[in-house]
Amino acid sequence: MSASAQVQPGGGTVTDVEDRLESEDLRGLDERRRLLLALGMLCYPFLAGVGVAQHTRGAGLVVGYLLLVAVSACYLAIVVASMRSAWRAYWWLLALMTVLAVLVAPLAHENVLILAAVIVPAAAARVGGRAALGLVGLGAAGCVVVPMLVPGWSTDPAWYYAVAVVFTALLVHAFSRTATANQQLREARAEVARLASEAERNRIARDLHDLLGHSLTAITVKSGLARRLAVGAPPAALAEMESVEQLARQALTDVRAAVSGYQDVTLAGELARGRELLRAAGVAADLPTAYDGVPPERQELFGWVVREGVTNVVRHARASRCTVELTASSVEVRDDGVGGPAGAGSGLDGLRARVAAAGGMLTAGPSRPRGWSLRVEASA
């Protein structure tokens, strides 16, 4: 996204809106793909229905078909639950589908094992890791062994069902990885768009300050000078000049307040800014890439700490490495530079005031074996 993107009245940019729309389109595309995959998986209950037709007659045939319809409905509901991240409902529906499959077994005989190609991959997709591998292996082995143990069941399709379990599990795994990668891509795009929007806001703030701030300062100074030079002028003229000076001072105050409002400090923005600043200064940056564990109400304060700490490292430390550590209640900026006694400065004093106002505690000073440490702990 370009830094020259047009700013909208709501505070975003034209490109922000386009990125959000594109992200929504990608999310909708993922959901449509999931539904298509779910519809394709319904071929397995259909194949189980072939077994019901082969081995059952009369009322049992109707019951078998109704049970398979319920299995299909459960699977579609599982897909919807996964898209909504309703994992408790997901597991309850999976358990219900397993019970329904067991009820179908006396009616479909060995053909019921094809439903393992639906149930096992759905469970494996949630447990992940080695547990998923074990679950898929157990499901495939069950497709081979169970027909040997149940009298009257044919073992002919056993290996076909085992291969179906493994193949479907691989397909679901590949689709899940793709969906996860798409989600991470959407999050990365949203973060880039947010940082670009923040950069644009800061650019507008700098331009506003440079253009209006300079002019209003000049007006304030010149109006004050004119008032002092206007000795003997009518009282009304002096009053007007005082009014002009006061208006100019008030306008300058308002501009500075507006600029301060534009220049929001965020933890994400300061981490990104700090990484670039350290890179430009030739300092190795060990900064966290995630900050989700920090509560929202502390992120602005921690952003100020990162800004002050990284700025001091670049300006004074002569360090080769800078490390930022984040927890839910603390932030620490360390370097391996020259260190020194804990001194005072406008930046550090201002940060102390911010931390004290938030009820936190700031400690700054040399760290061992060398370097400097700036640490802030927020109140509980």
Asked if pLDDT for residue 274 goes beyond 60, the answer is yes
Q: What percent of the chain has pLDDT over 90?
A: 19
Whether the Cβ atoms of residue 303 and residue 269 lie closer than 8 Å to each other:
yes
pLDDT of residue 94: 92
Give the per-residue pLDDT at 67.
Answer: 93
Partners of residue 170 on adjacent β-strands: none
Region 123-144: mean pLDDT is: 88
pLDDT tier for residue 224 given thresholds of 50, 70 and 90 = confident
Q: Are 124 and 173 in contact (CB under 8 A)?
A: yes
- According to the model, what pLDDT value does residue 27 have? 58
pLDDT band, residue 306 (cuts 50/70/90) = very high
Instruction: State percent of the chain over pLDDT 70.
Output: 81
pLDDT in tens, 80-114: 888 788 889 999 999 999 999 999 999 999 999 99
Q: Residue 376: its pLDDT value, please?
A: 94
Report how far residue 262's alpha carbon sits from residue 314's, in angstroms, rounded to the nearest whole number.
25
What was the pLDDT predicted at 6?
44
Q: Answer yes or no: is pLDDT of 232 > 50.
A: yes
Burial class (CB in 10 A: 0-12, 13-18, 19+), 117: buried
Average pLDDT of span 300-308: 89
